[in-house]
A and B are shown apart, each in its own frame.
Chain A
């Protein structure tokens, strides 16, 4: 079983329980659908980061306060800002399944999330290999909405990436991404090579979460 299938199963709430054949076939159909309808687009830009103190820092004109992100970016004087999306056709297909086959719709949601994570990993690997030449290393990616990194930072971050124009990623008035299967993330860049959990799930303070990876 590949990583994205395992992740999709985790998102579906199976925990350590065995997955039935029927659901597995819905999962494999979802990934097939995604391969054909998703239009993966991403953009990243590298910015300098100015630390005022442990929890206050600025990226260009954007001032940010966050303990969790502050901890994550300790020792970094640059960040890569990443925007990535699977495009609107994935939403269209999910709308469609919500009408015709709710089980497939739910499985599709989880698979699309896993598919997007896999794509973000690939984007991050690409940035990492670019930077490795300069002996710079990446920290785990961290998105607005994680921990105390407020979701409202989504707006200025998307603006400086010009996401609407470059990858067709926009935000609603309530800070939701549209297309829905999209990510923006801050990735710390440091000259120190530190052990890097690429995904931040284990870092989260919500230890009773039923989807948590390290208690499963």
Chain B
């Protein structure tokens, strides 16, 4: 077995394939994978030369052999892959004749597509694509799977899961980093290592993109973070363009010299990528043979990651933002019930801006489909923030589906010392990876003493070890009881925190705000307790970063404990802050009316002035006397070409703030909520540009429509279903390009047959009146305001139609 040799001796991979195929006459644009069948002898010959040069592992010629990339109807994928494996085996047989152990690695390259939310490839589609290749490869007799040249952590995750869930083969993974040490999608070395260790691959490393010299700084980082054997597979230097050809200039001797340095540093599986030849590999093997293997050492580093960022626990204290959680939050509960995911996402952005390092995500409410909402919220959050997330749920199904689609290595909240909990959660952590919060409670409850909590922490670590989950992936929560009912609550927690940290050397976490439950002015207790907990070794606190009191504790603790170099963060945060923010309302009230504030688009002032006006005026009067006239003036100005899009939107944002203040007052007065006309908005299937749709949304909301925003790349079926389910009379569709107007036409067709009373307005860069008529739309909005006017007129006419129908009936 190769896994037994891995890390105990040097293993040699092969070198480049593409350049050699070109030399043998392959034309640009030809699919190299078809050569497995059409030119089997040439392929076997190349593999054979690598085995003869000393390679232990040869990669099959299947880099682009996946259903998304390999679109060729001459040969089925199954035949390509089985022949490719056969060719490599035949080459070994001819070259080595069984005299030493050699291996055939099924080569899996990227799909060439970007995954959602940035691109249009669904995670599960990527998974299915890789699954097909992996299963075919194992059936054909490959000894291991080598996933290579990956530049997106999400795609790598799909590929690794596909390989591990559907085959029993060892999995090697190498990615393509640039000279900054980043993937093309932005991930750094620690986040890649965290992800791949979590997914339990057998070895990880770098290939392609760079020459051996440029790879050294990245190798250094890999060695610093990785507890797994490291693979290095450089190009023969950086590519150079010469007479329209891509050339690589590093000679076999130069290559070998640098590879010697790379092996001495600690790489244990080495080979070459683009531009390297059997000669490069031979020279490399000659120069490194006999160098003692640097043992692979476990690094005790606790790291969570997203696709583009990592957060390491252990130095100073980190912040997990607690706000995305319906417990005790009326508005968030409402938003969840009404499926207003945007509200949750904005909570996330606000916490990031306030200084959170990780965001907790809890969407647990009775009567909602938690697994599906959790998945949706995580995907939406990951399309606007690169902060790592903490998946917080007691629903095991929701936990697993969220861990599966999460891009990175998440925090998991939580496991406890209860047998049932550990049996459910640890297998998930083992499979998907994650840093899990371990609560010090078990079947007998929460121990009253610090020692009792320490014992449970030990039990959790011991059980985790049985699943091969390292101590670094457990963060212990010694729990805090409110001091209003447990006088010794804080004392015990602080003692336990220190004890656990010092005895077990494990990272710690606390939900800090619990301490003050039932007491007045909770931020005072919370922030002081937070400082004390950090002092006792709290690695990460689950807190409200929007609370200035908490952030004061955070910044001052780090400045005081020499954890903030030159007090930089403290100064950046407080240097420009005056003691008290001056009140804006008293001054602007006299100088600027609400109407002119809206016209000028001053959103911060709009809310404050509305608040002041409400003291003397009726909410409806404010709307009719100030807000509507202001919006009308701005709208007309936009039509005339005296007001431009950014200004129109600034006014809309100001009006929105004013409306929000008024709505709160109306809601608190107990008056029934006003009935709003519903409009569905969507960017059609295949289209990922949603700015036009978002502009229309903001304006429609301003004019008091209830906008159901289905997002971008929306299938016609979902639009039809929403219209039927929610009895919607007006749909707005947007499309950017001619290629997606087809989807628009299809959507209109489906709407016509399923909901003949529903009207459709369309807009987007390529559309015009003729085009809109051709696809059967009811209205073409050449700009956002036109859509608003159409919607207003439509519902007014409709209203009078319904009324006149009624009148007729009455007569």
B119 touches A13 (CB 8 A): no
Query: Among A45, A87, A94, A175, which residue has its beta carbon within 8 angstroms of that of B241?
Result: A45
Compute the total of residue contacts between A and B using a CB distance below 8 Å.
161
Alpha-carbon distance between A106 and B110 when the two chains are bound, in angstroms: 33
Query: Are B653 and A103 within 8 A (Cβ)?
Result: yes
Closest-CB distance, B208 to chain A (whole angstroms): 7
Asked whether A167 and B184 contact (CB < 8 A) given A176-B737, A178-B120, the answer is yes
- Smallest CB separation, A190 vs chain B (Å): 16
Instruction: For the complex formed, measure the closest distance between the CB of B155 and the CB atoms of chain A, giving whole angstroms.
Output: 10
What is the distance, in angstroms, from B174's C-beta to the closest C-beta of chain A?
13
Which of A62, A159, A168 counts the most chain B CB atoms within 10 A? Answer: A168
Considering only residues 37-82 of chain A, those with a C-beta below 8 Å from chain B are 39, 41, 44-48, 60-62, 78
Q: Which residue of A lies closest to B176 (CB)?
A: A165
- Asked if B349 and A99 make an inter-chain contact with CB atoms under 8 angstroms apart, the answer reads yes
Of the listed stretches B32-40, B410-418, B642-650, B658-666, chain A binds B642-650
Q: Is B739 an interface residue (CB 8 A)?
A: yes
Contact, CB under 8 Å: B688 / A172:
yes
Which among A41, A44, A96, A152 has the greatest number of chain B C-beta atoms within 10 A? A96
Known A46-B241, A92-B383, A99-B384; judge A160-B698 contact (CB<8 A). Answer: no
Q: Is the interface of B mostly helix, strand, loop or mixed?
A: loop
- Which residue on chain B has the smallest CB distance to residue A165? B149
Q: Mark A174-192 against chain B: 1 for CB-CB distance below 8 A, else 0.
A: 1110111000000000000
A99/B691 contact (C-beta < 8 A), A174-B686, A175-B739 known:
no
Whether B738 is near chain A, meaning CB under 8 Å from some CB there, is yes
Chain A residues near B345: list those with CB within 8 A.
99
User: Residue A22 at the B interface, CB < 8 A?
Assistant: yes
Given contacts A156-B29, A165-B176, A180-B688, contact A23 B647 (CB under 8 A): yes
Cβ contact of A106, chosen from B246, B386, B646, B690, cutoff 8 A = B646
Q: Is A205 in contact with chain B by the CB < 8 A criterion?
A: no
Question: Does A107 reach chain B (CB closer than 8 Å)?
Answer: yes
CB of A36, distance to nearest CB on chain B (Å): 13
Q: Are A102 and B695 in contact (CB under 8 A)?
A: yes
Residues of B within 8 A of A102 (CB): 649, 652-653, 694-695, 698
Which residue on A lies nearest to B342, using beta carbons? A99
Asked whether, in the complex, the Cβ of A105 is within 8 Å of the Cβ of B737, the reply is no
* B670 in contact (CB, < 8 A): no
Task: Given A160-B28, A165-B208, decide whether A23 and B118 contact each other with a Cβ distance below 8 A.
Answer: no
Q: Is the CB of B114 within 8 A of A170?
A: yes
Residue of A nearest to B688 (CB): A176
Residues of A within 8 A of B295 (CB): none
Closest to B239 in A: A166
Query: Interface extent on A, as a size class?
Result: 35 or more
Q: Assess the B650–A39 pair: CB atoms within 8 A.
A: no
Q: How far is the CB of B521 from chain A (nearest CB, A)?
A: 30
A157→B193 CA distance, assembly (Å): 34
State whether the Cβ of B641 lies closer than 8 Å to any Cβ in chain A: yes
Contact pattern, B 180-221, Cβ under 8 Å of A = 1, otherwise 0:
001011100000000000000000000010000000000000
Q: Does B351 contact A (CB under 8 A)?
A: no
Does B647 lie within 8 Å of A22, measured CB to CB?
A: yes
A45 & B246 in contact (Cβ 8 Å cutoff): yes
Q: Counting CB contacts under 8 A, is B321 at the interface?
A: no
Task: State whether A173 and B686 are in contact (beta carbons under 8 Å apart), knowing that A60-B29, A88-B185 are contacts in the complex.
Answer: yes
The answer to the question of B518 belonging to the interface, with a C-beta cut-off of 8 Å to chain A, is no
B740 within 8 A of A: yes
Asked if A106 and B176 make an inter-chain contact with CB atoms under 8 angstroms apart, the answer reads: no
Asked if B186 and A87 sit within 8 Å, CB to CB, the answer is yes
B690 → A minimal CB distance (Å): 7
Q: How many residues of B contact A (CB 8 A)?
A: 61
Residue of B nearest to A89 (CB): B186
The reply on B364 being an interface residue by CB < 8 A is no
- Alpha-carbon distance A100/B649, docked complex (angstroms): 12
B736's closest neighbor in chain A, by CB? A176
B689 interface contact, C-beta 8 A: yes
Q: Indicate if A12 sits at the interface (CB-CB under 8 A).
A: yes
Would you call B110 and A165 a contact (CB within 8 A)?
Answer: yes
A201 at the interface (CB under 8 A from B): no
Check if B331 is an interface residue, CB within 8 A of chain A.
Answer: no
Task: Say yes or no: A170 contacts B113, CB within 8 Å.
Answer: yes
Q: Which residue of A lies closest to B644 (CB)?
A: A14
A196 within 8 A of B: no
B-chain residues with CB within 8 Å of residue A175 when the two chains form the complex: 737, 739
For A178, the chain B residues whose CB sits under 8 A away are 114, 118-120, 688
Chain B residue nearest to A20 (CB atoms) is B647
Report whether B386 and A92 are in contact in the complex, using a CB–CB cutoff of 8 Å. Answer: yes
- Contact, CB under 8 Å: B151 / A168: yes
How far does the alpha carbon of A23 sit from the alpha carbon of B208 in the complex, in Å? 44
> Chain A at the B interface: mostly helix, strand, loop or mixed?
mixed
User: From residue 84 to 132 of chain B, which have CB atoms closer than 8 A to chain A?
Assistant: 110, 112-114, 117-120
Nearest CB of A to B177, in Å: 12
Bound-complex Cα distance A66 to B736 (A): 22
Output the residue of A96, A172, A179 with the most chain B CB within 10 A: A172
Contact of B691 among A92, A101, A106, A172 (CB under 8 A): A106
Q: Output the residue of B185, B308, B386 with the most chain A CB within 10 A.
A: B185
B738 touches A95 (CB 8 A): no
Q: B120, A173: Cβ atoms under 8 Å? A: yes
Residues in A with CB closer than 8 Å to B176 are 165
**Residue pair A95, B384 in contact (C-beta under 8 Å):** yes
A99 cross-chain contacts in B, Cβ below 8 A: 342, 345-346, 349, 384
Q: Within the complex, which residue of A96, A106, A174 is in contact with B739, where a contact is CB–CB below 8 Å?
A: A174
User: Is B687 among interface residues, defined by CB-CB distance under 8 A?
Assistant: yes
Proximity string of chain A (87-120) to chain B, C-beta cutoff 8 Å, 1 when within and 0 when not: 1110110111011111101110100000000000
Smallest CB–CB gap between B129 and chain A, Å?
A: 14
Q: Taking the complex as formed, is A32 at the interface, i.e. its CB lies under 8 A from any CB of chain B?
A: no
How far is it, in angstroms, between the C-alpha of A75 and the C-alpha of B91 when the chains are bound? 49
Name A91's closest neighbour in chain B (CB-CB): B118
> Are B649 and A165 touching (Cβ within 8 A)?
no
Contact of B617 with A by CB under 8 A: no
Interface status of B27 (Cβ within 8 A of chain A): yes
Q: Does B385 contact A (CB under 8 A)?
A: yes
- Given A96-B384, A174-B737, residue A106 in contact with residue B649 (CB < 8 A): yes
Is B601's beta carbon under 8 Å from chain A? yes
Given contacts A61-B29, A165-B110, A165-B176, contact A41 B184 (CB under 8 A): yes
B342 touches A96 (CB 8 A): no
- Note all chain B residues with C-beta closer than 8 A to A160: 28-29
Interface centre among B349, B653, B687, B739 (most CB of A within 10 A): B739
Residues of A within 8 A of B (CB): 12-15, 17, 19-20, 22-23, 26, 39, 41, 44-48, 60-62, 78, 87-89, 91-92, 94-96, 98-103, 105-107, 109, 145, 151-152, 156, 159-160, 164-165, 167-168, 170-176, 178-180
- Beyond the given A15-B641, A17-B642, please list 11 additional residue pairs across the A-B interface where CB-CB is below 8 A: A12-B645, A22-B600, A41-B178, A99-B342, A99-B345, A100-B346, A106-B695, A151-B738, A165-B208, A174-B687, A175-B739
Sample of 5 A–B contacts (CB below 8 Å):
A13-B644, A60-B27, A170-B112, A176-B688, A178-B114
